[in-house]
Amino acid sequence: GRDDRGFRGSMKGRTMYVVPFCMGPISDPDPKLGVQLTDSAYVVLSMRIMTRMGQQALDKIGENGDFVHALHSVGAPLEPGQEDVAWPCNDKKYITQFPATKEIWSYGSGYGGNAILAKKCYALRIASVMAKEEGWMAEHMLILKLTNPEGKKYHIAAAFPSACGKTNLAMITPTIPGWKAEVVGDDIAWMKLREDGLYAVNPENGFFGVAPGTNYDSNPIAMKTMEPGNTLFTNVALTDDGDVWWEEMGEAPEHLIDWHGNDWTPASTTKAAHPNSRYCVPITQCPSAAPEFDDWKGVKIDAILFGGRRADTVPLVTQAFDWNHGTMIGALLSSGQTAAAEGKVGALRHDPMAMLPFMGYNAGDYLQHWIDMGEKGGDRMPAIFLVNWFRRGEDRRFLWPGFGENSRVLKWIVDRIEGNVDAVETVVGHTARPEDIDLTGLDFDIEDVREALAVNPADWAGDMEDNKEYLTFLGSRVPSEVWDQFSALKQRVESAS
């Protein structure tokens, strides 16, 4: 049974807000709805940006409609006359999702996804369970619309663990002439099978992005999205003229108030903004927003991308042999450890489908659902690709320029979908040939591209034990199809070594 530990009396002396909200376009005839109770004004303002919130959502719920119950408190009751603090919270924090009853309880935190319960708690953890029950998919994926020079449109969904360039890809400015990119979603995709394919909807209404590292070079679209204002910033630094600043935005001002509220100068040894500080802004302000972000039917997905951060082993771009092979690629998605604090440097940090923190049910059953969806969808399912923007040379420099140049890899993916280009069959799958990556207008050594695409079976052999251990760790419910794919990969690696 559940208890109400901590909640009884937790909002005393505060305002309780009742926030009805809709996930995805409000025009959806069968919408997914929710109501969040909260004592945080920050949450209310964030929910107004991140969801379709308010009267329209309440009307959709109606007299006795179905909705997800979300309960949140910062856990900081106020006695009469007691002065409030700048950031009320409680040292004791917990977030509990109840998949069977579709409820979310969050206590003690006032921050981000811990408190904005429509975000990961609903859109992934609860929705992944709904999706399994109802035969669709809730995935941690961006949705990108691409238009080629002839005006033909393509849609790509992509899963990347954190710090692997997901937001930058969602808001990419293509460097190849004639290609246009628009963002449908930067974080979450709800995908449903229709007559002619798998369609994706972005259940969110805004971007909740990491601020540090965002600038006019790395992500000009994100910066332009914030230009009109109407943006909620969390834990960034404040300039003397009331503007915001964070690391890598540009040259640091002479004086700032840091995220702790203390004076900060460029001589300070601490960071001015928290490394996970955020901007929260409506999609409608984004200059590259695709109008389809507000279409409840969604966009037809042509390709699904998986990408981790690997300095070695994984080539720049490879197409999976088929859906089940792609499911195994997603199941084994990983990044290399980058710092000693994260564990053994060189060991793999696994994040299946970039969903490790967000699966609402057993990981093996989740992979089974992927296999089942592939069976149900058959040839309606999109092609699956594995990408790696982060391959390094022997001198440790990046072999691929990344950012807007990733549009060249997207062009190759589109060429594969259209059957316009061959590939070389490697242990990984159908890997691109260096001469097929369009380098027009790029002052770049094709030898670097060759190295970025290289597949060394000995490197893959080195990963096999780690990957086997990980699939075993995921438990006895990992589908036999995934193990069959793993055995086939092992066979290919052994034959090639």
Q: Give DSSP secondary structure letters for 84-107.
A: PPSS---SS-EEEEETTTTEEEEE
pLDDT of residue 230: 97
Residue 342: closest CA among 161, 484, 494 = 161
User: What is the C-alpha to C-alpha distance for residues 271 and 248, in angstroms, rounded to an integer?
Assistant: 11
pLDDT of residue 238: 98
pLDDT (mean) for 270-290: 97
User: What's the pLDDT tens digit per position in 404-414?
Assistant: 999 999 999 99
Question: What does each C-alpha distance from 90 to 64, 104, 208, 323, 397 come to in angstroms?
Answer: 34, 18, 23, 45, 44
Contact 370, 478 (CB under 8 A): no
Q: Which residues contact 70 (CB under 8 A, 6 or more apart)?
A: 34, 35, 36, 37, 103, 104, 106, 117, 118, 121, 122
Q: Which residues contact 131 (CB under 8 A, 6 or more apart)?
A: 137, 138, 190, 369
Three-class SS state of 25: coil
Statement: residue 344 has pLDDT above 80: no
Three-class SS state of 410: helix
pLDDT of residue 165: 87
What percent of the chain lies above the pLDDT cut of 90? 93
Statement: residue 5 has pLDDT above 90: no
User: What is the C-alpha to C-alpha distance for residues 331 and 483, in angstroms, rounded to an integer?
Assistant: 11
Looking at 22, 89, 121, 164, which residue is catalytic? 164
pLDDT (mean) for 306-315: 96
pLDDT (mean) for 116-136: 98
pLDDT (mean) for 291-313: 97
pLDDT bracket for residue 2 (50, 70, 90): low
Hey, what CATH class is 3-122 in? alpha beta
- 164 included as an active-site residue: yes
Would you say the pTM of this structure is higher than 0.75?
A: yes
User: What is the C-alpha to C-alpha distance for residues 317 and 111, in angstroms, rounded to an integer?
Assistant: 36
pLDDT of residue 342: 47
Mean pLDDT of the chain: 95
User: What's the pLDDT tens digit per position in 152-190?
Assistant: 999 999 999 988 889 999 999 999 999 999 999 999 999
pLDDT bracket for residue 386 (50, 70, 90): very high
pLDDT (mean) for 247-272: 97
pLDDT bracket for residue 340 (50, 70, 90): very low
Cα 362 versus chain centre, distance: 20
Residue spans per domain, the chain: 3-122, 138-202+294-474, 208-279
* pLDDT higher at 412 or 342: 412
> In this structure, what are the phi and psi dihedrals at residue 126, rounded to the nearest 5 degrees?
-75, -40
Statement: residue 96 has pLDDT above 80: yes
Statement: residue 472 has pLDDT above 60: yes
Instruction: Decide yes or no: CATH 1.10.20.10 for domain 208-279.
Output: no
Residue 161: closest CA among 449, 451, 358 = 358
Residues making up the chain, counted from first to last? 497
Pick the CATH number of 138-202+294-474 from 3.90.1580.10, 3.40.50.2300, 3.40.50.300, 3.90.228.20: 3.90.228.20
pLDDT of residue 285: 98
